[in-house]
């Protein structure tokens, strides 16, 4: 048993001690914070601290004699490795949206026993589902216990880095205009107040950014709006005086971070509060005064920020070009170095690609931790090379690189796979089938308002034809100098809901994949923008949308099995490469330009 595993067992035992002392029989530790964020500040990384599993999504359940971690297929190999020897069993979920752990808990506990979960990090929608399932079995749910706090003596505090403004020209819509649009939506449903708790909604709405979460330019805060003003609940010292003054000019006053619950409790009788049940915690909902009417609907800001304006789209295209130029510079350096016989590791790829991005105009930081996976590591969709565990790029095979940047004018996310040395026919076949999926969806036209999950099968069809598939979604929404994962749209197998309707201005990834555990992985990802298709006036079939491909970087053509591509697919790829060449040629020179020209030669 190594030191890490021993520490994991000790932490689980400390949690069990706290569990027993509280009179509970099981505890659920979700991957969540009081804002239901995907990526968490250190203070709320309790699931990772307890289990040693570092994936961004997963739920831990600990009973008095068992412990189980629930994760979807993106993390199975990673979880099995990181949980080895810990005494925590891996329970495999079909998708990240699965809640099978609710049934598992209900089957583990007996009538009259108690499940504890911290209500301050438990989503309202999840709480309702959990409570209903447990009630059927006579199991009690306690949400007033933070057992992680009881077990975690040196738990980190709140982040302290200051916030800053996202300024024009990149901030193309003013704070006042955004607030006015949200208040119009509030008035439309009769809401006098609106609680915004998700950190990306708060940051977008106020044109503020921060660094409380790695790779996401957000900060920890709640926002309570009324018809004329609002209060931003944020830790003392995080908002500079000049920024606070400009917020005040727009009617936003500062309040202590921990004052959000008392403020909800103090709302006047007769008030109507708008909350998003998927974006607010049970703890905040239960803090609301009894005489207040609560309306549960999606945050207006979530829908508004998903639709980028034409002015924002201009800056996004510029950011994509800067990012593409960085990729050309990196790949030219990488291939020339390999040709000289120099040895690279996955860590080198991460460091040198990041260095190239830092040189580009408007770059602020990475949009997520770079995934550089050689051969078998490329078969782990959320792999990350670490100093204690990485591979050297030796021999023949496939190198998968999934990376992205945060720019003042946009957020990028791109995956490319490059053949190193000689690649097998099987690898070329897998690569080409994935490419066919990327092309198929990229070319699709669809009626405005189409629910995004309906598009998922288009990218999978070329793989399904050969009995193949992948476990993750095909595409996620992307923010504007904001979180790289954004809703409400999701091109996936998720159950479609009205809020997932595709609208002009939405940015979404297209990233089908194929993974051979222990061998190699393939994923080809571009970001696309929903744009209107020109149709005849009074078209009886309504407005149509199509995708504008935003990502600008060559796709490796020397890994293609050309017998699997149709003429129209080759034409799309040649057209894409012509656009990449035209857009990036003015931004690169020397070896990078030579590499770009060679890699964009038509098939």
The per-residue pLDDT for range 62-72, each reduced to its tens digit, is 999 999 999 98
pLDDT bracket for residue 3 (50, 70, 90): very low
Same domain, 381 and 369: yes
Residue 159 is assigned to a structural domain of this protein: no
- For CA atoms 576, 578, 580, 583, give the dihedral sign: negative
Measured distance CA(54)–CA(19) in Å, rounded: 23
What are 63's strand-pairing partners? 26
pLDDT confidence of residue 382: 83
Residue where a domain terminates, one of 255, 270, 303: 303
Closest CA to 530 of 313, 302, 319, 205: 313
User: 546 lies in a domain?
Assistant: yes
Question: CA torsion 206→207→209→213, rounded to 10°?
Answer: 60
Q: State the chain's maximal CA–CA distance in angstroms.
A: 75
Q: Which of 423, 486, 429, 479 is nearest to 452 (CA)?
A: 486
SS (H, E, C) 96-146: CCCCHHHHHHHHHCCCCCEEECCHHHCEHHHHHHHHHHHHHCCCEEECCCC
Give the chain's mean pLDDT: 94
Residue 291 in this model has a pLDDT that exceeds 70: yes
Q: What is the pLDDT of residues 456-503, one digit of tens each?
A: 999 999 999 999 999 899 999 999 999 999 999 999 998 888 999 999
- Check: CB of residue 170 under 8 Å from CB of residue 408: yes
Which residue among 265, 288, 303 closes a domain?
A: 303
User: Residue 158 falls within a domain, yes or no?
Assistant: no
Evaluate if residue 441 carries a pLDDT over 70.
Answer: yes
pLDDT in tens, 119-133: 999 998 889 889 999
pLDDT, average across residues 558-567 = 96
The whole-angstrom separation of Cα 565 and Cα 574 is 12
Assigned domain for 156 exists: no
424 lies in the same domain as 513:
yes
Percent of the residues in the chain that have a pLDDT greater than 70, as a whole number: 99
Q: How confident is the model at residue 97 (pLDDT cuts 50, 70, 90)?
A: low
Identify which of 226, 208, 200 has the alpha carbon closest to the alpha carbon of residue 167.
Answer: 208
Residue 595 lies in a domain: yes
Statement to judge: residues 242 and 342 lie in one domain: no
Is the pLDDT reported for residue 592 higher than 80?
yes
Note whether 491 and 474 are within 8 A (CB).
yes
Query: CB-based contacts of 44: which residues, under 8 Å, 6+ apart?
Result: 32, 33, 34, 37, 121
Please indicate, yes or no, whether residues 181 and 74 belong to a single structural domain of this protein. Answer: no
Instruction: Kindly state the DSSP code that residue 586 receives in the 8-state scheme.
Output: G
Q: Domain of 422: which CATH number?
A: 3.90.230.10
Other beta carbons within 10 angstroms of residue 187's beta carbon come to 11
Residues 503 and 536 occupy one common structural domain: yes
The answer to the question of residue 189 being in a domain is yes
| Tokens at 419, concatenated | 């053949």
Which CATH number do you get for residue 131? 3.40.350.10
Please give the C-alpha separations between residue 178 and each of 305, 481, 508, 510, in angstroms, as whole numbers.
9, 16, 22, 29
Give the tokens for residue 326. Answer: 């960085």
User: Domain range holding 334?
Assistant: 307-599
Q: What is the pLDDT of residues 310-325, one digit of tens each?
A: 999 999 999 999 999 9
- What is the pTM assigned to this prediction? 0.91
CB 305 within 8 A of CB 569: no
Residues of the chain with pLDDT > 90, as a percent, come to 85
CA distance 349 to 333: 10
Helix and strand totals (H; E) in the chain: 18, 28
Same domain, yes or no: 348 and 289: no
Residue 44 banded pLDDT, cuts 50, 70, 90: very high
Place of tokens 């830790």: 235
Taking only the tens place, the pLDDT of each residue in 503-529 is 999 999 999 999 999 999 999 999 999
Last residue of a domain, one of 278, 303, 328: 303
Segment 15-20 shows an average pLDDT of 94
- pLDDT for residue 496: 82
Domain identity same for 445 and 476: yes
One domain, residues 314 and 294? no
Nearest to 162 by CA among 203, 215, 211, 202: 211
Q: Do 340 and 286 have their domain in common?
A: no
DSSP H or E segment with residue 49: helix 46-51
- Mean pLDDT, to the nearest integer, of 102-107? 90
Residue written as token pair 């924002």? 312
Between residues 538 and 444, which one has the greater pLDDT? 444
Q: Could you tell me where the beta strands, DSSP code E, fall in 263-375?
A: 272-275, 293-296, 363-366, 371-374
Looking at residue 412, what is its pLDDT?
98
Q: Taking Cα atoms as reference points, which of 208, 157, 166 lies closest to residue 41?
A: 157
331 and 434 co-located in one domain: yes
Both 299 and 384 in one domain: the answer is no
Co-location of 188 and 120 in the same domain: no
Tell me which DSSP letter residue 481 carries. Answer: S
**Given a cut of 70, is residue 51 above it in pLDDT?**
yes
Structure tokens at 167: 């300024």
pLDDT, tens only, 207-225: 999 999 999 999 999 999 9
Whether residue 139 lies inside any domain: the answer is: yes
Would the pLDDT of 448 be above 70? yes
What's the pLDDT at 1?
40
Find where tokens 């309570």 sit.
224
**Residue 363 main-chain phi, psi, to 5 deg:** -70, 135
Residue 200 lies in a domain: yes
pLDDT score for 188:
96
CB 424 within 8 A of CB 381: no
- Over range 145-154, report the average pLDDT: 92
Report the 10 Å Cβ neighbour count for 465: 10
Distance CA 52, CA 47 (A): 8
Statement: residue 573 has pLDDT above 90:
yes
Looking at residue 5, its pLDDT comes to 53
Domains identified in the chain, total number: 3
When pLDDT is averaged across residues 184-211 and rounded to a whole number, the result is 97
């Amino acid at each position: 048993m190594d030191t890490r595993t021993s520490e994991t067992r000790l932490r689980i035992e400390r949690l069990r001690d706290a569990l027993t002392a509280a009179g509970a029989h099981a505890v659920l530790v979700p991957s969540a914070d009081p804002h239901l964020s995907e990526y968490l500040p250190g203070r709320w990384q309790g699931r990772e601290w307890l289990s040693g599993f570092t994936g961004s999504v997963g739920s831990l359940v600990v009973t008095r004699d068992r412990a189980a971690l629930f994760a979807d297929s993106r993390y199975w190999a990673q979880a099995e490795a990181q949980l080895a020897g810990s005494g925590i069993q891996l329970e495999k979920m079909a998708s990240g949206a699965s809640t099978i752990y609710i049934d598992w808990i209900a089957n583990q506990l007996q009538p009259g026993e108690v499940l504890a979960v911290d209500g301050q990090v438990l989503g309202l929608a999840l709480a309702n589902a959990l409570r209903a399932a447990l009630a059927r079995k006579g199991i009690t749910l306690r949400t007033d216990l933070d057992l992680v706090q009881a077990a975690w003596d040196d738990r980190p505090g709140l982040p302290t880095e200051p916030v800053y403004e996202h300024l024009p020209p990149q901030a193309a819509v003013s704070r006042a205009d955004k607030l006015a649009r949200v208040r119009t939506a509030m008035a439309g449903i009769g809401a006098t107040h609106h609680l915004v708790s998700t950190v990306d909604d708060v940051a977008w709405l106020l044109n503020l950014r921060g660094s409380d979460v790695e790779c996401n330019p957000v900060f920890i805060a709640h926002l309570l709006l009324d018809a004329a003003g609002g209060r931003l609940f944020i830790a003392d010292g995080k908002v500079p005086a000049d920024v606070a003054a400009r917020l005040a000019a727009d009617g936003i006053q500062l309040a202590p971070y921990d004052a959000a619950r008392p403020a909800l409790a103090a709302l006047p009788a007769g008030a109507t509060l708008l909350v998003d049940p998927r974006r607010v915690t049970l703890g905040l909902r239960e803090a609301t005064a009894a005489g207040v009417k609560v309306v549960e609907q999606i945050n207006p800001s979530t829908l508004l920020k998903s639709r980028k304006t034409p002015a924002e789209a201009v800056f996004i295209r510029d950011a994509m070009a800067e990012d593409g130029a960085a990729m050309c510079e990196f790949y030219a350096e990488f291939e020339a170095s390999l040709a000289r016989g120099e040895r690279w590791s996955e860590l080198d790829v991460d460091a040198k690609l990041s260095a190239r991005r830092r040189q580009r105009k408007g770059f602020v930081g990475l949009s997520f931790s770079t995934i550089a996976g050689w051969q078998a590591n490329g078969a782990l969709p959320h792999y990350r090379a670490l100093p204690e565990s990485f591979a050297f790029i030796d021999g023949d095979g496939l190198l998968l690189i999934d990376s992205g940047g945060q720019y003042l004018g946009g957020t990028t996310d791109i995956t490319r796979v490059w053949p190193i040395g000689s690649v097998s026919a099987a690898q070329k076949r897998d690569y080409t089938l994935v490419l066919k999926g990327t092309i198929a969806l990229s070319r699709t036209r669809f009626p405005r308002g189409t629910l995004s999950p309906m598009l998922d099968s288009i990218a999978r069809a070329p793989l399904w034809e050969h009995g193949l598939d992948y476990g993750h979604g095909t595409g996620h929404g992307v923010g504007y100098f904001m979180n790289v994962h954004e809703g409400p749209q999701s091109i996936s197998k998720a159950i479609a809901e009205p809020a997932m309707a595709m609208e002009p201005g939405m940015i979404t990834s297209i990233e089908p994949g194929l993974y051979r555990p222990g061998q190699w992985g393939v994923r080809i990802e571009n970001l696309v923008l929903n744009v209107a298709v020109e149709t005849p006036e009074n078209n009886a079939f309504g407005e149509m949308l199509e995708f504008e491909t935003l990502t600008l970087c060559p796709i490796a053509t020397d890994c293609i099995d050309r017998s699997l591509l149709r003429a129209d697919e080759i034409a799309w790829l040649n057209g894409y490469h012509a656009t990449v060449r035209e857009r990036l040629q003015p931004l690169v020179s020397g070896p990078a330009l030579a590499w770009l020209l060679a890699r964009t030669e038509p098939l």
